[in-house]
Amino acid sequence: MYILAIDTTGPVGSVALADTNTYRITMRTTEEDMSHLKNLMFLADDLLEAEKVDKVRIAAVAASTGPGSFTGIRIGVSSARAVAQALNVPCIKVPTLEQFRLKCGNRPVAVIFNARRGQVYGAVFDKEGRDILKPGPYMLTDVLEAVAKAGIAPVFYGDGIDAYGDKLEGLETAPREDRYQTAALTAAVAMNKLEDGETCTFEELLPDYMRETEAEQRLRDGSLARARAAKMKKFRSR
């Protein structure tokens, strides 16, 4: 049987297919803008056709659920939910930062996703994949302090490298081709979760933004209501 995995949380969207018997993973990627991922399911169909896998052989659908691009997360999760519902198979939730535990082995790993204004979604794992700094929303300085306090020299991953490269001088960063989250990583984690029985229904597969969207922040602090009131006042004065 197979797992169909989707990751659209980072700069590159991808779909992967994992054979649960042989552990072989194949992947298709697209650099189409996350807000215009119209061809995501065409990408999945192309992959299934190339691997000669009928949809009835899909045992579960996995999605990288965040954190990351808010738009990308929504697209990936909603696509996975729709496919799982159509095929009547379970879903597998894969927290995006957790994927990078698979990079551990010879070296510790630090992950930083750009959350803007000096903020990141980050994590630091030792070489066995154990938490030094558990996945969560942080300031970049929090991650760097955790690395310094642990006295380790991790390899850094994530698009935070692109945003904050000047703050990482002297630290080792992963090459661009290996830097970002992918559906292949999602699929690898998902195979372990499927073996452990960690599945959910499509209704239970939900995004994990780790912090409020801009709209939610504006709703909470009242600025959204004020902006709407100002627009209505301007409209009525015409």
pLDDT in tens, 121-153: 999 999 999 999 999 999 999 999 999 999 999
Is there a domain that residue 71 lies in? yes
Phi, psi of 100 (to 5 degrees): -80, -5
Reported confidence tier of residue 219, pLDDT bands at 50, 70, 90: very low
Amino acid at residue number 95: P
Does residue 70 have a pLDDT over 50?
Answer: yes
Alpha carbon distance 207, 213 (integer Å)? 12
167 and 187 part of one domain: no
79 and 135 part of one domain: no
Is there a domain that residue 162 lies in? yes
The whole-chain average pLDDT of the chain stands at 90
| Largest pairwise CA distance in the chain | 69
HSE-CB at 218 with a 13 A cutoff on CA atoms is 9
- Tokens 């896998």 correspond to 53
71 and 42 part of one domain: yes
C-alpha pair distances (Å), 67 with each of 12, 27, 72, 135: 14, 21, 10, 10
Reported confidence tier of residue 232, pLDDT bands at 50, 70, 90: low
Does residue 223 have a pLDDT over 70?
Answer: no
Looking at the structure of the chain, the number of domains it has is 2
82 and 187 part of one domain: yes
End position of a domain, from candidates 152, 178, 204: 178
134 and 205 part of one domain: no
Amino acid at residue number 123: A
User: What does the DSSP 8-state code read for residue 237?
Assistant: T
Give the model confidence (pLDDT) of 151-200 as tens digits: 999 999 999 999 999 999 999 999 999 999 999 999 999 999 999 999 99
- The stretches of the chain forming alpha helices (DSSP H) are 40-50, 70-87, 140-150, 160-164, 183-195, 214-221, 223-236
Give 35: exposed, middle or buried? Use CB within 10 Å, 0-12, 13-18, 19+.
exposed
- Tokens 């965040």 correspond to 66
22 is in which domain, residue-wise?
A: 2-96+181-215
Cβ proximity of 5 and 23 under 8 Å:
no
Is there a domain that residue 37 lies in? yes
| Phi-psi region at 210: left, alpha or beta (left = phi > 0; alpha = psi -120 to 50) | left
87 and 197 part of one domain: yes
Reported confidence tier of residue 224, pLDDT bands at 50, 70, 90: very low
Is there a domain that residue 206 lies in? yes
Q: What does the pLDDT read at residue 218?
A: 41
Is there a domain that residue 227 lies in? no
Q: What does the pLDDT read at residue 225?
A: 54
Q: Which residue has the higher pLDDT, 20 or 233?
A: 20
Reported confidence tier of residue 228, pLDDT bands at 50, 70, 90: low
Strand partners, 120: 114, 138
Does residue 53 have a pLDDT over 50?
Answer: yes
Cβ proximity of 64 and 186 under 8 Å:
yes
C-alpha pair distances (Å), 88 with each of 55, 57, 128: 11, 12, 36
Cβ proximity of 80 and 8 under 8 Å:
no
Is there a domain that residue 74 lies in? yes
130 and 200 part of one domain: no
92 and 189 part of one domain: yes
The percentage of the chain sitting over the pLDDT mark of 90, rounded to a whole number, equals 79
10 and 127 part of one domain: no
Provide mean pLDDT across the span 54-70.
96
Is there a domain that residue 66 lies in? yes
Q: Which residue has the higher pLDDT, 223 or 204?
A: 204
21 and 68 part of one domain: yes
> CATH number for the domain including 201?
3.30.420.40
161 and 191 part of one domain: no
